[in-house]
Amino acid sequence: MAGQGDEQLREARLRGKVAIVTGGGRGLGRAVAERLSKEGAAVCIMSLHHESAQAAAAEIARKFGATIAVGGDVAVEEDMHACVERAVSMFGRLDIMVNNAGTIAVDPVTDTSVEEWDRVITTNLRGTFLGCREAARQMIRQGDGGRILNCSSGAGRRGSGLVAAYTASKFGIIGLTQSLAVELAKHRITVNAYCPGHVTSTPMWDYLAERFSQLNGVTPADVKKAVAHEAPLDRAGTPEEIAGLVAYLASDEAAFVTGESVLIDGGLVRF
């Protein structure tokens, strides 16, 4: 059984590190930002919704330590560059980049407009690319390695109906992750993806439950209940469990892990 000393060591394993978490104002991103801060990192939260980012940053700073908020769109080149510049100007460096921000659409492919397709691909895939690029540039300048972590999904490992744009973007993130892991290895920058399964307590899943209820004629609560029982572990995941995986991949303990897309889904997708 882990003792108090082990717990303190774990919570301090990111001390002295600086992290950016995109989409960190709520949901999975908020849990990741809080966990990284709890483990000792200074954290910059980037969010399209600046108010939620500010509220999250203020609460995390009160509980754990230095946390700031930056408003911006991950898919806008200038916004992503400005976010990295702000984090470096405030904290002096960048060690961990968590490209967590994302969006989704639920429609049959025959009803999916080009605009809706582009919206999802632009936010999820271009936004992740820009976050990777800007972080890599800064980490290479620093010269002492780093961690880049990209949010894919179980949908990035196995396709399913009604979410074609989202699935394509999440498969793309895994391909991007694998390519950059090879390219950036010489700089001691690891690049990995985390692939959550059903985490039904998030705002994204509130939207999904409502949308699937409209399409299938059931209640949103029934949708969440059904998906929670799909995995062998017979429950939904929690944001805190996803954050625990991200914290590990961000730490020195994962120095020999790169190019991976790690499923955390209760056994739902098995390969």
Residues designated catalytic: 166, 170
Q: Which residues contact 233 (CB under 8 A, 6 or more apart)?
A: 266, 267
